[in-house]
A and B are shown apart, each in its own frame.
Chain A
């Protein structure tokens, strides 16, 4: 049925993939709202300036790496190199979890320097960093869950899936959260 679809309408994007693109637009709006609020707030009084945790540089590299493994995993799936695909998808999920842990260490680092993220002593500059970053972490976590689902599918023996759409959808989303973090990182470091 899918093959029939493609021969009839070669240019058309799969509706689920399209839905994902619209959803990503929606997520962009949420982060745009938050970073705009950040700028508005920064231009008012009582804004605490502080250094970003160094570990954010490392986590940026980790999430970039995970995008690379995700890209290779999609290629492997399409080439039907299933064992290579399984390894790469596992690596991607592991790098995703590593990223989350590093972000957490970044928060700990700030708290260790006496910069309260939340609570009555907090300044909204640190709270903004925490809320936006934590929200991004939730989106990465969602990506990890999606990877676990297609990971489980790859190990099924009774049912074989030749449909690459779910893998591609997970891949697009994964690259999206990667790009989103790069945006946030640049925003924190140079714009905000």
Chain B
């Protein structure tokens, strides 16, 4: 098998061809090689997951801090000064700290949690297990991918401790704030560290993405044709393709930015006037150019975040409805359509930058076209649930919650995709509400669904169900209570990213509403800590998994031992005879992919 060839490629050099032996034991594993510099995809997945969790807590805590400012602009919290020091003098977050917090919250949640933490975790964990491979195409590159992410994390973390603070010009890092050290405090060392961290992050994503694509296309087990793959794998495949094609463009945007920052070039900077500095010597640069390069990644990035959640939700909904997924090929086709359209809509983030209105109308059309594959997916999820024999496991609840949030957030996307409406809605809380629901919370729900569903495979134990149900209901209700009111604020024109609204007659009225949102945000954050407790407690003390296939699922990962070693299957890799969704067929509750097709089976 090509799998063996990769796992043992280095041993080919010394001795000649030897075949047909399978390794039950592996080289002696030390603590370092097993838990730190591991090349086992399952361990790397856990590393991504736990690092992502650390970032989720930090990023969530930042949102609690700035929500305190928005909900209680007149109050002081002396304990904030204990934590944040000079950034919260007298217990009130300073305006600079506020901008630093929203910027870092955005960067961290989009890239470190929902890209690395979500697709890094589940692409690593599920791809080899579900396609029947012993490991990734290049386990070494896979390990590098994690460690580049780790290095990016350290650099990003360190930017919070420099004297001038972390970057504070918004997560999109538009010039001139990002290109000029003199523009603001956060534009100095903080921005340098932000750029280094993001460059390392891009490298990590590319190394990971290359591996995922190569593994899915080359290392599937016998019988696992592309159309027999679980939808999780299809989704992770398109995610990786999007990442590999769009991150390099972001990288080129960053390179030009670095030259403008450090070498006096004029790609983005022109002869603008800065208070305290005077007119810049630069000539003819265009800040819009950066926006084009940034959003050429930025929009696919949205789908990089969302597609893995879609794939996992499809799988979990089908397993727990005890029904085949409705419209498998339509699901694959719509993933493909979304992946293509993802590259053709970036300028809808730039409708009000002075974009040619005719060009804008083309981008409106392409943007609204995304509603078609999205609606196909939604209807297929609903028809999968329809008359199913539903088991409300925590994973299933989060998958259903994902569908709910995707519908709610997707519908406001149709509003925002119109360039005319965008004149009113751009840069308001309506945008905040839209993308938090459809991309942020929905993908978070996909991630939770995945964690609850595959935790037994990851650690050989179950999570506690009671805590899980509390976690689900509070988070779902909280997500709507936080973001629903923001739609109204946005329609009323309340701009995003403002430090204090009490000076505006038109937005003063929202103080009570903001206070309500902040309160719910704090409760939801506390419930995530409950989830974390459940997660770490259950790793060591959770109820043990005693059967190989606890969810009665068809996919290959449940044919491995309860605690699989490096290499996943002790003997031969199983052969696949059917697709992954034979649930409730011919009177059988489920038929695993490894079961040969019987002579008496109905249509196959």
Contact = CB atoms under 8 A, between A and B. Distances in A.
A41 B268 CA distance: 10
Contacts of A25: 244-245
B2 A163 contact: no
A149 interface: no
Given A22-B213, A29-B249, A37-B256, A123 B137 contact: no
B284 A46 contact: yes
Interface stretch (A11-19, A89-97, A107-115): A11-19
Contacts of B282: 120
Contact of A15 (B13, B17, B137, B264): B137
Interface string B242-270: 00111111011101100100011111000
Given A12-B2, A124-B267, A33 B12 contact: no
Q: Which residue, of B14, B214, B267, has the highest number of chain A Cβ atoms within 10 A? A: B214
A2 interface: yes
A15 B249 contact: no
Contact of B248 (A9, A29, A44, A131): A29
Nearest to B15: A1
A119 interface: yes
Nearest to A119: B264
A26 interface: yes
B284 A45 contact: yes
Interface of B: 1-2, 4-6, 8, 12-14, 17-19, 137-138, 141, 206, 209-211, 213-215, 217-219, 244-249, 251-253, 255-256, 259, 263-267, 281-286, 289, 292-293, 296
A46 B283 contact: yes
A49 interface: no
Output the residue of A1, A14, A16, A123 with the most chain B CB within 10 A.
A1
A124 B217 contact: no
A161 B249 CA distance: 38
Interface string A15-46: 11011001101110111111011001100111
Contact of B265 (A2, A5, A27, A127): A127
A12 B1 CA distance: 11
Contacts of B264: 118-120, 122
Nearest to B283: A46
A44 B5 contact: no
Interface size class of A (residues with CB under 8 A): 35 or more
B255 A124 contact: no
The 7 A-B residue pairs with the shortest CB-CB distance in the complex, in nearest-first order: A46-B284, A30-B248, A33-B249, A15-B137, A120-B281, A33-B252, A127-B265
Nearest to B263: A118
Given A14-B2, A161-B13, 20 more contacts: A1-B4, A1-B12, A4-B19, A15-B138, A15-B218, A15-B219, A19-B210, A19-B214, A22-B210, A22-B213, A22-B214, A26-B247, A29-B244, A30-B251, A37-B252, A37-B289, A40-B286, A118-B259, A122-B265, A131-B265
B285 A124 contact: yes
B284 A4 contact: no
Contacts of A32: 249
A82 interface: no
Contact of B293 (A1, A13, A27, A33): A33
B94 to A, nearest CB: 33
B252 to A, nearest CB: 4
A79 interface: no
A1 B370 CA distance: 46
Nearest to A3: B17
21 contacts: A2-B17, A3-B17, A16-B6, A16-B214, A18-B137, A22-B209, A25-B245, A26-B206, A33-B249, A33-B252, A34-B252, A37-B267, A40-B289, A40-B292, A45-B284, A119-B264, A124-B267, A124-B285, A127-B265, A159-B13, A163-B12
A166 B67 CA distance: 54
Interface string A36-68: 110011001111000000000000000000000
